[in-house]
Amino acid sequence: MAQLDIKVLIKQVPNTAEVKIDPHTGTLMREGMESIINPDDLHAIEAALRLRDAHGGKVTAISMGPPQAVDVLREALGMGADECFLLTDRAFAGADTLATSYTLGKCIQRLGRFDLVIAGHQAIDGDTAQIGPQVAEFLDVPQVIRAITLEIKDNELLAERTAEECTEVVKCPLPALVTVTKEANDPRYLFIPLLMAAFEAEAPVKVWGSKDIGADEASTGLKGSPTKVQRTFTPSHKKKIEKLTGAPADMARTLVDRLRERRVL
């Protein structure tokens, strides 16, 4: 078959492992918070690079976000991606998953032929896991969600995907879209010469706006987002402590009763 053309969708997210909550306001303390590449997306890049290395071809990383999201694209180049596109435009701001999927989908269409789109299963900030499936719908290609192995044979994709209580083996024609989970692979480290080259003026990072991808601005950003956020709040977890006293056997009985009342047992 011809050389593989693989697009990888990646996202810059706050490092939620380091997130601190303001104890007074209950809101996220963003100051000084580090931004990282979404963890699942590292597995998407790795999966793409392995297929490219096995079959030949090209890996293109695409991210939508503010200008500083270029950092995660440079990381993709440091891992070995061939080129990158940053979709950044005021018109893209405030997008929900539908508007984001539309924007990413338009970019992929604009880039022409592709064999495979790979995305991380979900992002650690929004946790929706909707982008992959929605982009597949937009592009009108088959989708394999939560893949853990990927193989290409005779112009077809063979993949194992995890379902609720089993693993499915699926086969689908190309082009297709796949989302991968962290079980898919062990992402490689950054290769310093490539990472350093990603910061040079001639690095293959292109920045595209709404016009470059031919987007209908009614479908991007806040305008294209049917999701309306009513309110955000930190749920309160009230703690009630009951101290058991008495003989050990009585305390054990009371404890079992309490656990049954709460349906723990």
Partner 1 sequence: MPLFEDTPAEHAFRLALRKFIAKEFTPYREEWDRNRAVPREAWLKLGRQGYLCPYLPKEYGGSNLNFRYVVIMLQELTAGDAMCIGVTNHNDNSTRYIYHHGTEELKRRLLPKCITGEAVACFAMTEPGAGSDAAAITTKAVRHGDHYILNGSKCFITNGMFADIMIVMCRVESPDVDPKKNYSLLCVEGESIKHIRRHQFEKIGRHGQDTAEIFFENCPVPVGNLLGREGEGFKCTMQALGRERLELCIKAQVYADECLKEALAYAKVREAFGKPIGNFEHIAFELAEMATEVEIGNTFLHACVEEFIRGEDITKRVSMAKAWIPEMCNRVAYKAVQIFGGYGYMAEYRIARLYQDVRAMPIFGGTTEIMNLVIARQLGFKPIF
- Minimum Å gap between C-beta 247 and partner 1 is 32
Of 68-76, 142-150, 174-182, 209-217, the segment contacting partner 1 by CB under 8 A is 68-76
Amino acid letter, residue 249: A
Return the CA Rg of the chain: 22
The yes or no reply on residue 195 touching partner 1 (CB under 8 A) is yes
Binding part of the chain for partner 1, among 48-56, 58-66, 188-196, 236-244 by CB under 8 A, reads 188-196
- Between 77 and 213, CB nearer to partner 1: 77
Q: Give me the count of residues in the chain.
A: 265
Two tokens at 217? 């601005």
CB 62 within 8 A of CB 90: no
Q: Which of 200/242 has CB closer to partner 1?
A: 200
Cross-strand pairs, 168: 161
In whole angstroms, how far apart are CA 72 and each of 37, 49, 102, 109, 249? 5, 16, 21, 22, 58
Q: Which string of DSSP letters, residue by residue, matches 218-239?
A: TSSTTTT---------PPP---
Site for partner 1, residues 199 to 228, rule: CB under 8 A: 199
Q: Which of 189, 232, 249, 261 touches partner 1 by CB under 8 A?
A: 189
Task: Specify whether the CB–CB gap between 131 and 100 falls below 8 A.
Answer: yes
Q: Does 41 bind partner 1 (CB under 8 A)?
A: no
Q: Which C-beta is closer to partner 1: that of 37 or that of 108?
A: 37
Looking at 23, 32, 193, 226, which residue binds partner 1 (CB under 8 A)?
Answer: 193
Coil, strand or helix at 83:
strand
Smallest gap from residue 245 Cβ to partner 1 (A): 26
Does 192 bind partner 1 (CB under 8 A)? Our answer is yes
| Shortest spacing between CB 203 and partner 1, in angstroms | 10
Count of beta carbons in the 10 Å neighbourhood of residue 254:
14
Least distance from C-beta 263 to partner 1, angstroms? 37
Residues in the site for partner 1, rule: CB under 8 A? 71, 74-75, 78, 189-193, 195-196, 198-199
